[in-house]
Structure 1
Amino acid sequence: MRLFLTIIFTLICGPVFAGDLTVSVRDSSGRPVRDAVVTVRPNAGVPAGPIRFSWPLRIVQQDVQFQPYVLIAPVGGTVSFPNLDRVRHHVYSFSRGNRFEIELFGRDVTRTHTFTTAGVAALGCNIHDQMLAYVRVVDTPYAGKTNAAGEVVIPGVPAGAARLVVWHPQLNVRGNEQASTVTIGAGAGRQAVTGDFSARAAVR
């Protein structure tokens, strides 16, 4: 069934002119959409240096599934693929710009891959067709993934004009992403920044 995805976001700013951006992703029925990746790229640019996130860059193979279903990794980030199953796995991606292959490896063995191109890597297992996951490779530190409540908080977003992108593997538009130009407010207190746009989506 095709649904409509609505993005509503608010910014709580502090006196350092940066704040925590809260994004809520919901469908037309008001149900939360989980595993949506939200990125913000300020027009003024992003800080120099390597991008680091608080979550582990790891996709586990367990119960003949990839966990998590969606992982955010920075450009240049190395993702580990530990196999916790009793069977062997063969991880691959045919995605443009992020093609790679990790041939058969068994239980309690970990292999790694370094992602060098911003975009998406759709992962599969050459042995188990039901296994599917995604790595969203980003070039901004202002990124996060919605939880079961359809919400994500991106800390320390600077004030000013920015490009906000929402990506979901089942978002039924080109590139599975919807972009919007926003202006992040500055100053203390609470400010609302509304970006109201829709896209056809199938919600996992």
Structure 2
Amino acid sequence: MALQAQAANIYIMDDNNQPMENMVVYLQSNNPAAFATPALASDSSTTQARQNPVEVHQKDKQFSPYITIVQKGYQLKFVNDDDITHHIYSASGPKRFSFKLRQDGVNKDMVFDQLGHISMGCNIHDWMSGHILIVDTPHFANTDNKGLVSFDNIAPGQYQLVVWHPQLQAINNQNSYQIDLPLSKPLTLTVTDTMGEIPSQQSLDDFEFLEGY
């Protein structure tokens, strides 16, 4: 008889037992199915990478969301919701890019085929900061304001659960835990490493955009 996949509810807390919001949580496994990566997308591709890209927006001169997670080989769409130009660039990471999005609703598609963390900014609005994490698993999520992530349709087995955040002051900005699924009850995990300050995406001295840029 086939084993039934079950939901897993996991709470991420700090060492003061306070919920940690917007932490990246993902599962890794020795099961090859958990690491399935789609064929890299091309202009004529009809894969899920082309049909349902992850989106990172530039809105009110901020990156939204602050942290974007994408599975290796999938497409990410940069969308400019502002009525001004943004010049997006990667400051570090496995994929380097630099491009301008000039007006409201303009977007750019990009496929990420290497694992790792990309830090990005805007050459025009230097207070803007955002992060992309490319993972090799389809099982990932961000914690909510209760520190909760829920994973559905996960096959029984042993997994490595990774908690990541660009401001987590730990090796590779992450903590790892071995867990066995399914869970008989919600699981609470404690992150003992400290968190650095999350930068505010606001200018202290705003200015009007120069159209000639």
TM-score band, normalised by the shorter chain?
A: 0.7 to 0.9
TM-score, normalization by structure 2:
0.77
User: How do 1:28-177 and structure 2 match up within 5 A?
Assistant: 28-47=15-34, 48=36, 50=38, 57-177=54-174
Distance 1:195 1:61 in 2: 33
Deviations 1:134-164 (A, max 9, x none): 1111110111111122211111222222111
CA deviation after TM superposition for structure 1 residue 72, in Å: 1.2
Distance change in 2, residues 1:109/1:192 (3 Å)? closer
TM-score, normalization by structure 1:
0.80
Distance 1:95 1:130 in 2: 16
Distance change in 2, residues 1:63/1:195 (3 Å)? closer
CA deviation after TM superposition for structure 1 residue 193, in Å: 5.4
Q: Name whichever structure is richer in strand by fraction.
A: 1
Report the residue type matching 1:201 in the other structure: M
Secondary structure of 2:32's partner? coil
CA deviation after TM superposition for structure 1 residue 28, in Å: 2.7
Judge which range, 116-125 or 103-112, deviates more.
Answer: 103-112
* Structure 2 unaligned residues grouped into runs of 5+: 40-47, 199-213
Distance change in 2, residues 1:174/1:149 (3 Å)? same
Alignment partner of 1:201 out of 185, 189, 195: 195
Report the residue type matching 1:39 in the other structure: Y
CA contact (8 A) 1:171 1:177 kept: yes
* Structure 1 unaligned residues grouped into runs of 5+: 1-14
Judge which range, 44-53 or 139-148, deviates more.
Answer: 44-53
Judge which range, 110-119 or 23-32, deviates more.
Answer: 23-32
Report the residue type matching 1:44 in the other structure: N
CA contact (8 A) 1:85 1:107 kept: yes
Deviations 1:86-132 (A, max 9, x none): 21101111323122122352222111221111111112111111111
Give the number of aligned pairs: 186
Query: Runs in 1 of length 4+ with deviation above 4 angstroms?
Result: 191-197
Q: Give the CA RMSD over aligned residues.
A: 2.5
Report the residue type matching 1:198 in the other structure: T
Name 1:21's counterpart in structure 2. Answer: 8
CA contact (8 A) 2:53 2:75 kept: no
Name 1:180's counterpart in structure 2. Answer: 177
Deviations 1:181-202 (A, max 9, x none): 222247xxx3465655522223
